[in-house]
Structure 1
Amino acid sequence: MASKSAYDLIVVGAGAGGMATALCAAHRGLDVLLCEASDFAGGTTAFSAGTLWVPGNRASQALGTADSVARARTYLDAVIGAHDPRGLRAAFLESAADAVDFLARHTQVRFAAAGLHPDYLISEGAATEGRAVAAVPYDGRLLGDDFRRVRPPLPDFMVLGGMMVGKADVQALIGRYRHWRHFLHVAKLVTRHAVDRLTHSRGTRLVMGNALVARFLASLQEAGVPVLYRSRMQVLRQVEGRVVGVELLTDEGPLSLTARCGVVLACGGLGRDEAWRRQFGPSEAGVSPSLVAPANLGEGVRSAASLGAHIDAHEGGYFWQPVSRVPTADGGHRLFPHLYLDRAKPGLIAVNRAGDRFTNEADSYHHFAEALWRQPPGPGAPAHLVCDARFVQRYGLGVIPPGTRRLRRYREQGYLLSAETLDGLAAQMGIPAATLRATVERFNALARNGTDTDWGKGRSVLNRFNGDAAHGPNPCLAPIQDGPFCALAIWQADAASSTGLSCDAHGRVLNAEEQPIAGLYAVGNDMASVMRGTYPGPGITLGPAITFGYRAATHAAASRPTATETGADTERTHS
């Protein structure tokens, strides 16, 4: 239970946006409580790469990267449109680098320049490097007992029963017998992991989103900000139009708390709430699978809407990733996101239920998944990644690691389809054999020529970045020619919502008349995305989440209400 009943600021949700808000508010002198519905901190952030899109960040500038906020503004204007409702985009560009610097000065949250990490769209102002920063790896042992509070990553992003690996680690693992530097790198990782497992349930070398979450947790410890776990918000308390507190449901029962400066909603957006998903998703035909943290049930948006908050709906409603379904021992399945490890590599295509290619397989996960959703016979039907067994052995496919020669296990699990001939594979896929043969023959001709004139695979810096640099002339193209042939079903899954609460540049939640609801803020995915349903580059959810957490905390600290404004007369509650 909370140690007292009143705080300056109550933040609901311990994802990146909520933790950033709580930390910045504490360092602005506010007495803060952070509430979290689950047993873990991190939310969906813990599953992510931990990358932030921060134009003008000092870490990249220190390395001499030639980029600017002005160029990023040009890029966003080109891909989103020049219209900037309520100045949110301008506020993000103005404050993103300052937010990262503030955390670096006052907390243990550290970011490093991500180096070559291209924007996702070909447009004026796009950059190949300088805008992405990534959380610096963290030693989870420093958290002590709070290490158990870091939400584990997706199980398929760990190896050897709990060892986290980043992109550089993956390359070292693949080439461990090709170069002594890779071998030494892997040997150090495995030795560290073996020692970790003597005292911990998983590896304590944390990278990507787990590193970011751990650094936030360590900083909250250091700042003395309490985190109340297993406390789900039920009601926002309002007095004479001002939000003055929350009612929570905890393991010990209901808990009513007062917030003198306000409440910040950082609950993760629309989440897994089926009604929201049907209302704001791209189709009424069904609900897509979700990569959102299981505890996210959309109560932040729902509670604000009950106070008259306006929901700013964007086309598509969500940010997407393609996933395969990995069978589990209990007869169910878990989701594996196909981000960059397989789709861009040479010798793979994606085909729809008619057997046709339908997009550039090497484009970003969001844009690939958007194209997947539009394929016949409609939403909810899978497409297939098609390659040959040689491709799987070299690059891996989904959860099948590189170096795999024997595919029987994955076939018997129902994860993978394979056949000696394309006709046999088509029969298993349930698509016309003649169409699949023609599609593969067409692709092979393009691959041998080195140019994909149909869909442009390999045309962009992003495509080539995720392809195979050792393969030429096009690092993303190679023929699919020798059996056995393989197919893996993939679906579209949401990773975050773009639709959310209308807010102003300080993160204050707005009503239908675009007036602030006093004492109520929203950050992260509870706040409608400044990208307005577009996906310009890596980290475009975490970058704004932390930036507006910083801005909301700064505004709350500067806007302490008087005793009269926080009085207890005429209180109304809303769930």
Structure 2
Amino acid sequence: MAAFDEIFDWVVVGSGAGSMASALVMRRAGKSVVVLEKEPFVGGTTAKSGGVMWVPNNRFMHEAGETDSAEAAITYLDAVVATDGGAAPGTSREKRLAYVNEAPKLIDFLVEQGVALERGPDFWPDYYDSLPGGCKTSRTVVAVPFNKKELGPWTKKLRKGFAEFPVRLGDAMKLAYVRRDPALKKLTMRIVLRTIGTKLIGKHYVTAGAALQGRMLKASLAAGVEFRTDSPASELIVEDGRVTGVVAARDGKTMRIGGRLGVLVNAGGFAQNQAMRDKYMPGTKAEWSQTPEGDTGEMLVELERAGGVLAQMDQMVGYQSTPAPGWEKMYVMPPGQSLTGKPHAILVDQSGVRYMNEGGSYELYCETMLKRNASVPAVPSWAILDSQYVAHYKVADKWIDKKIPKGWIEQGYLHKADNIEALAASIGVDAATLAATVERWNGFVAAGVDQDFHRGESAYDSWLGDPYHGPNKALGKIEKAPFYAVPVIPGDVSTYGGVVTDAAGRVLKGDGTPIEGLYATGVSTASVMGNVYPGAGASIGPSMTFGYIAATHAAGLGNRM
């Protein structure tokens, strides 16, 4: 091995959840680990996210008395991948099998390491639950809320989450229906009092992704993993075809850091790099992404330089959003995942035509919007709502039935009218077209069947709808004035392409052979799910699982973990 300033057994670039999973495996094996994070904060996009892992056949499902299996999971994944042709380079049946077999073992391993996990909401169906093997309850796993003060001097180094209060993710999601169920007002008050109470005694609870990463960081520090912030890696060191280390910054100096067993790259994607977006996914904007500012893709370029093959680079984990006034200064843009999936709402393009099932996968939603925009202007599209909607649900996290937030109408974000024709004029679409679209929708609602796009027919559509509404939880007429419209854009929570890897997490060359010593996981890789997003947590689950797999392989542990 060439001269290095430092040598560790395992060098990890990026501090996402997959990085920490791999680090815990290596420390369990008695190996030295350094995690290099270019930003001032640890946690990556995972910390800012919902922190959900999609893990079929997990221990929490079985504890709840549910039946799931690797056979059902691979049947489902095969069917999901097939919906897009099944030819995406990042997926193969071998990799999908590795995922469904190893992901439950990862969860068991993390629990053994003291990482407190639990089942996500017990009703969070797979996004294509009607396909063979699909789950209509929940295959999700999340972290238990975490007091980040337990991190001691690392407390301020954990990247901020979007839900920094003591509440389980499932309970937080119920609050969307606070006007539908009086009991939820009591839950809201309990959360408020709990938040105040815990802060008074010096605790600071976080949930979702920050809880997951806080717990992973605590376990990793306790295991002896070395973390370095403000330490960007700029180069992979390649000797005789093998990656032996990285060039990285430390305290303003450039250092050569060797990795005896290998280097794992989990440095995110390129969501914040507009030039790369223009190259690979034109028509999308970095400013619409929920990823941290450091998600700029340099390591993807470096992985390619080292011999890796980039694939699925036109893919992103779309997450529809609505750009309410002031969104540019918000830590998280107002989400639109369920905005048009609830009763009394539809989505139309700029011609006034409805063109998709407004429920379903957020990845598919945004992909459909972008494809539509190639033939009919659809970015932004318009959410069309009536007064029944705004009486029951928030818009951009605000109640607007009694008081419209300042600037929403004046800045052209919210449009309000006493009839559909006037609303159409306000948003610049043909009045007759929009009126016909709404009339057709209302006919479908009356019949109980969306004949155009089958909204409301899947368990996931029902989940996105309203549990207190019936008979179809996703269908409701747009008929009660006043009527409203807000724009919806194809945002994202990450890109979804990167280097092609094998079932062991090794980066592959163009001829299909592995680059020795080089591993990758997370959205630095072309997704094992291909070009489709099968369920909540289909990015974080694979990131952690293949981080676990890569470290197990590099350490020569086989199946002994």
TM-score (norm 1): 0.88
Matches within 5 A, 1:214-233: 214-233=214-233
Picking from 97, 104, 112, the partner of 1:97 is 104
Residue 221 of structure 1 deviates from its aligned partner by 1.9
C-alpha distance 192-412 of structure 1, shift in aligned 2 (>3 A): farther
CA contact (8 A) 1:59 1:113 kept: no
1:29 and 2:30 matched: yes
Map of 1:193 onto structure 2: 195
Picking from 420, 427, 433, the partner of 1:429 is 427
Separation of aligned partners in 2, 1:29 and 1:380: 54
Q: Could you list the per-position Cα deviations for residues 500-529 of structure 1 after superposition, in whole angstroms to 9, with x for gaps in the alignment?
A: 111111111111111211111101111211
Map of 1:396 onto structure 2: 394
SS at match of 1:134: strand
Map of 1:319 onto structure 2: 317
1:141 and 2:149 matched: yes
Residue 330 of structure 1 deviates from its aligned partner by 7.6
Q: Could you list the per-position Cα deviations for residues 117-176 of structure 1 after superposition, in whole angstroms to 9, with x for gaps in the alignment?
A: 21111311111125222222222232233222222234xx67xxx777734234347438
Residue 346 of structure 1 deviates from its aligned partner by 0.8
CA contact (8 A) 2:121 2:169 kept: no
Separation of aligned partners in 2, 1:48 and 1:334: 9
C-alpha distance 436-536 of structure 1, shift in aligned 2 (>3 A): same
CA contact (8 A) 2:350 2:377 kept: no
CA contact (8 A) 1:24 1:553 kept: yes
RMSD between superposed Cα atoms in Å:
2.7
Q: Could you list the per-position Cα deviations for residues 29-81 of structure 1 after superposition, in whole angstroms to 9, with x for gaps in the alignment?
A: 11000111112222221232221111111111121112211011111111213
AA aligned to 2:137 is E
Residue 228 of structure 1 deviates from its aligned partner by 0.4
Q: Could you list the per-position Cα deviations for residues 266-299 of structure 1 after superposition, in whole angstroms to 9, with x for gaps in the alignment?
A: 0013332334323332xx4564632222111112
Separation of aligned partners in 2, 1:173 and 1:503: 40
Residue 495 of structure 1 deviates from its aligned partner by 2.0
1:481 and 2:488 matched: no
Separation of aligned partners in 2, 1:285 and 1:411: 26
Calculate percent identity across the aligned residue pairs.
32
C-alpha distance 493-183 of structure 1, shift in aligned 2 (>3 A): closer
Map of 2:9 onto structure 1: 8
CA contact (8 A) 1:141 1:147 kept: yes
Map of 1:128 onto structure 2: 136
Map of 1:241 onto structure 2: 241
Separation of aligned partners in 2, 1:99 and 1:493: 30
SS at match of 1:509: strand
1:153 and 2:161 matched: yes
AA aligned to 2:268 is G
Residue 97 of structure 1 deviates from its aligned partner by 0.6
Picking from 382, 400, 404, the partner of 1:407 is 404
Separation of aligned partners in 2, 1:163 and 1:485: 37
SS at match of 1:322: coil
Q: How many residues align?
A: 544
Residue 339 of structure 1 deviates from its aligned partner by 2.1
Residue 449 of structure 1 deviates from its aligned partner by 2.8
Separation of aligned partners in 2, 1:245 and 1:44: 24
Map of 1:367 onto structure 2: 364
Separation of aligned partners in 1, 2:124 and 2:178: 22
Matches within 5 A, 1:25-424: 25-81=26-82, 85=92, 87-112=94-119, 114-121=121-128, 122-154=130-162, 166-172=169-175, 174-175=177-178, 178-179=181-182, 181-195=183-197, 204-281=204-281, 284-285=282-283, 287=285, 289-313=288-312, 316-328=314-326, 335-340=333-338, 342-376=339-373, 381-401=379-399, 404-409=401-406, 410-424=408-422
SS at match of 1:335: coil
Q: Name stretches of at least 5 consecutive residues in structure 2 with no aligned partner.
A: none
Q: Could you list the per-position Cα deviations for residues 475-514 of structure 1 after superposition, in whole angstroms to 9, with x for gaps in the alignment?
A: 1122112222111101112322322111111111111111
Separation of aligned partners in 2, 1:399 and 1:193: 20
CA contact (8 A) 1:138 1:206 kept: yes
C-alpha distance 551-379 of structure 1, shift in aligned 2 (>3 A): farther
Separation of aligned partners in 2, 1:139 and 1:79: 38
Q: Could you list the per-position Cα deviations for residues 390-436 of structure 1 after superposition, in whole angstroms to 9, with x for gaps in the alignment?
A: 312311122324x7521152323543222223222212211111111
Residue 332 of structure 1 deviates from its aligned partner by 9.5
CA contact (8 A) 1:272 1:297 kept: yes
C-alpha distance 304-296 of structure 1, shift in aligned 2 (>3 A): same
SS at match of 2:321: strand
C-alpha distance 28-397 of structure 1, shift in aligned 2 (>3 A): same
Map of 1:556 onto structure 2: 554
TM-score (norm 2): 0.90
AA aligned to 2:188 is V
Residue 13 of structure 1 deviates from its aligned partner by 0.5
Q: Could you list the per-position Cα deviations for residues 297-323 of structure 1 after superposition, in whole angstroms to 9, with x for gaps in the alignment?
A: 112211111111112336x42221111
C-alpha distance 358-104 of structure 1, shift in aligned 2 (>3 A): same
CA contact (8 A) 1:326 1:333 kept: no
Separation of aligned partners in 1, 2:548 and 2:332: 35
Matches within 5 A, 1:421-460: 421-460=419-458
Residues 362-371 or 166-175, more deviating: 166-175
SS at match of 2:372: coil
CA contact (8 A) 2:383 2:486 kept: yes
Separation of aligned partners in 1, 2:81 and 2:155: 40
Map of 1:569 onto structure 2: none
Map of 1:20 onto structure 2: 21
CA contact (8 A) 1:21 1:552 kept: yes
Residue 16 of structure 1 deviates from its aligned partner by 1.2
Residue 333 of structure 1 deviates from its aligned partner by 10
C-alpha distance 236-336 of structure 1, shift in aligned 2 (>3 A): same
Picking from 538, 544, 547, the partner of 1:540 is 538
CA contact (8 A) 1:12 1:263 kept: yes
Residues 288-297 or 370-379, more deviating: 370-379
CA contact (8 A) 2:161 2:206 kept: no
C-alpha distance 35-246 of structure 1, shift in aligned 2 (>3 A): same
AA aligned to 1:50 is G
Separation of aligned partners in 2, 1:277 and 1:126: 32
C-alpha distance 40-109 of structure 1, shift in aligned 2 (>3 A): farther
C-alpha distance 250-431 of structure 1, shift in aligned 2 (>3 A): farther
SS at match of 2:318: strand
AA aligned to 2:46 is T
CA contact (8 A) 1:66 1:130 kept: no
Q: Name stretches of at least 5 consecutive residues in structure 1 with no aligned partner.
A: 561-575
C-alpha distance 391-481 of structure 1, shift in aligned 2 (>3 A): same
Residue 541 of structure 1 deviates from its aligned partner by 0.9
